[in-house]
Chain A
Amino acid sequence: MDFYSFLIQLLNSIQYGLLLFLVASGLTLIFGIMGIINLAHGSFYMIGAYMAFTLSSLTGSLFAAIVLGIVLSVILGVFLEWALFSHLYKRDHLEQVLLTYGLILVFEELRSLIVGNDVHGVNVPDILNWSLPLTDTLSYPAYRLFMSAVCLVLAVLLYLVIRRTRLGMMIRAGSSNREMVQSLGLNINLVYRLVFALGVALAAFAGMIAAPVSSVYPGMGTQVLIICFVVVVIGGIGSVWGALLAALLIGLADTFGKVLIPQAAGVTVYVLMAAILLWRPEGLFRRI
């Protein structure tokens, strides 16, 4: 591999890693702050992608679809937290797994009833539908660069919200000691509801923004779920920075694994996870 291809592959891995971060950040928030194992997180990603498909064909614009989709997914998140998840905080993880696995089945079936089982494509918005030439044969789609930029902006925003705002302070306090926060007169239930809705919206947003390059198909949520859990486990449960670093590491391991040791491309990510867990059983970072 010459130096130029190396740089292009580096770009590929960063771009893939940033997208992974976007999906996994919601999972790590819900898991780390609320202590809920949410297997249905992949379904929210899938719902986002399908919303991008249906709403963009209704409104004629992907950006309008994304704005509308975020509103809808926040509503969905608030509703689910109120109706189902709020009853789970005191229960053990096994019951959470049972409920969220059930939700996967429900969402897949609803998807099949409402939109059907066909594969769909979402068009890249016209202003981003061009490519940057890299070599004489290869060019890089502008939309992918746009996606990376959006992911970076979101990472910074998340950091600022959690570290520098009053809401962030309440979230951090709630994740350390729920009872204490409550006895200090803060409405922890409201905080949890917000965090859950934020997690759902992040996953759905990732699905929407990825839809033009990933295409929209049945079962896309479960694929992304496994890799998201790997990101969360490597990064340290509940840590946003950890998730960002882990996602970039996985992007690198996956891309260069495929190029350098193609026979073992399927396992490089998991070998990386095992190695990091041996070294740091709690993941790279702890807490937010």
Chain B
Amino acid sequence: MKQAQHQPSRRDMRRALTAVAAALAAMVSLTLPIAPAMAQQQKIKIGLMLPYTGTYAALGNAITNAFKLYVDENGGKLGGREVEYFVVDDESDPSKAPDNANKLVKRDKVDVLVGTVHSGVALAMAKVARDNSTLLIIPNAGAGDITGPLCAPNIFRTSFSNWQPGYAMGKIAAEQKKKTAVTFTWKYAAGEESTGGFKEGFEAGGGKVVKEMTLPFPQVEFQSYLTEIAALKPDVVYVFFAGGGAVKFVKDYAAAGLNKTIPLYGPGFLTDGTLEAQGDAAQGLLTTLHYADGLNNPKDKAFRAAYLKAFKAEPDVYAVGGYDAAQLLNVGLTAVKGDISKRNELVAAMESAKIDSPRGPMTLSKAHNPVQDIYLRKVEGKENKVIGVAVKALADPARGCKL
């Protein structure tokens, strides 16, 4: 045996050469251009790049479920063409994001990229989409830059920008004749965009933000800040926290007795998916978001029933973003009869789409961010009940976007 390794027999050589030739042939056939006539029969390739492990796994699954739910309701097709999914777990890790996005775009050659939850990952995806001019639909991440300085004709968002709920809450606080406010968030982009939006809305209505406090992400030791809030005695406190931080802050705020004298406001993420853990401490909190419980429009009722039936779980705001991503793509593909190579017409159709979303009617701004009603919601039991519309058809200012 040992000798055979040193002096390969002719048969071994031939076998090796055959293998190399086969591999080469396979590679050539992969790179062959697909004939245009074939394109209509090909499936639309959709790259789902979402978190399926880690803290945001539940969100990634909700988005995926809802996206597929719409496609299934539509007979398994978008724009008349069948759909093929390429799924990548982005792990909410920005450092792996360029690689993951490139895998889908360059290796799998997807027609459309859909994702994601984490803003840092979404920014990396936006860069890959710009470089390769791949169509990108973002079903959740609210980073302002994506529909601001980084906006592009091929990048769309079906959720919200962090500025939107913040601005709406600021306007509400000013309408309630509150004079002074303290804002508090983790020191990172999403939080500062949200509190920035609040400040803009609040001060436009005549209020004054007396202090903007930040805490390094992801620390949750709030006690010293609560002491400061108690000393400042503002009329209202606006905070941006999510997940474990949101649960802890709301409970600490109540335990310190501050909720009795100073109302606590926030964007919907303060109380979305966390009410079970927050318990009594969250009761009566006011938040703003583009979705709420008890909207009672026909589309929402149908969507909730279908989602519950298919996945045995109540849909949330994340599922709505995923569902509308599929709806938006369908509008574009239908307009070009499934021919995704007609990019300009496809984009034009998506831009002027009027989506019948579970959240209510939704259109897109010039920067491709939703123009939507922002609801005022109140925590009642385990629900974020809608109690009114904070701002009708609110559009993000899209500062820095040149579209």
Contact = CB atoms under 8 A, between A and B. Distances in A.
B333 to A, nearest CB: 34
A265 B230 contact: no
B227 A133 contact: no
Nearest to B231: A5
B314 to A, nearest CB: 13
Contacts of B57: 112, 117
B209 to A, nearest CB: 15
B55 A137 contact: no
Interface stretch (B3-11, B212-220, B293-301): B212-220
B279 interface: yes
B198 to A, nearest CB: 18
B247 A121 contact: yes
Given A219-B55, A255-B224, A262-B213, A213 B251 contact: yes
A43 interface: no
Interface stretch (A7-15, A23-31, A184-192): A7-15
Contacts of A119: 243-244, 246-247, 273-274, 277
B62 to A, nearest CB: 12
A183 interface: no
A118 B257 CA distance: 26
A258 B225 contact: yes
A117 B52 CA distance: 11
B342 interface: no
Interface in B197-232: 213-216, 218-221, 223-228, 230-231
Given A137-B233, A262-B214, A12 B248 contact: no
Given A119-B244, A218-B54, A138 B257 contact: yes
Contacts of B247: 119, 121, 215, 217
Nearest to A255: B224
A259 interface: yes
Contacts of A266: 187, 216, 219
Most interface-central of A118, A119, A123, A133 (chain B CB within 10 A) = A119
Interface residues of A, number: 45
Contacts of B227: 5, 8-9, 12, 138, 259
Interface string A128-143: 0001010111111101
B50 to A, nearest CB: 14
Contact of A213 (B228, B252, B262): B252
Contacts of A176: none
Nearest to A4: B231
Contacts of A131: 255-257
A214 B248 CA distance: 6
B255 A120 contact: no
B119 interface: no
A137 B262 contact: yes
B154 to A, nearest CB: 32
A254 interface: yes
Interface in B262-302: 262, 273-274, 276-279
Contact of A120 (B226, B230, B277): B277
A223 interface: yes
A273 B216 CA distance: 18
A103 interface: no
Nearest to B51: A117
A16 interface: yes
B58 interface: yes
Most interface-central of B220, B223, B228 (chain A CB within 10 A) = B223
B389 interface: no
B243 A217 contact: yes
A2 B230 CA distance: 13
Contacts of A254: 221
A265 B187 CA distance: 10
B124 interface: no
B332 to A, nearest CB: 33
A128 B54 CA distance: 34
A117 B276 contact: no
A16 B54 contact: no
A272 interface: no
A61 B216 CA distance: 34
A220 interface: yes
A66 B38 CA distance: 66
B58 A117 contact: yes
Contact of A258 (B224, B255, B256, B279): B224
Contacts of B251: 121, 213, 215
B252 to A, nearest CB: 7
B132 interface: no
A223 B218 contact: yes
B261 interface: yes
B60 to A, nearest CB: 10
Most interface-central of A138, A141, A220 (chain B CB within 10 A) = A138
A239 to B, nearest CB: 24
Contact of A259 (B224, B256, B258): B224
B278 to A, nearest CB: 6
Given A5-B228, A131-B255, 20 more contacts: A5-B231, A8-B227, A119-B273, A119-B277, A120-B276, A121-B251, A121-B279, A131-B256, A137-B257, A137-B261, A137-B262, A138-B230, A138-B256, A141-B255, A141-B256, A214-B220, A215-B247, A217-B55, A218-B55, A223-B218
29 contacts: A1-B231, A2-B231, A8-B227, A13-B224, A117-B55, A117-B57, A117-B58, A119-B243, A119-B246, A119-B274, A121-B251, A121-B276, A131-B256, A138-B231, A138-B256, A138-B257, A138-B258, A139-B257, A213-B248, A214-B220, A214-B248, A215-B247, A217-B243, A218-B55, A218-B244, A254-B221, A256-B224, A258-B224, A266-B216
Interface of B: 53-55, 57-58, 187, 213-216, 218-221, 223-228, 230-231, 233, 243-244, 246-248, 251-252, 255-258, 261-262, 273-274, 276-279
The 7 closest A-B CB pairs, nearest first, are A217-B244, A138-B230, A266-B216, A121-B277, A139-B257, A141-B255, A215-B247
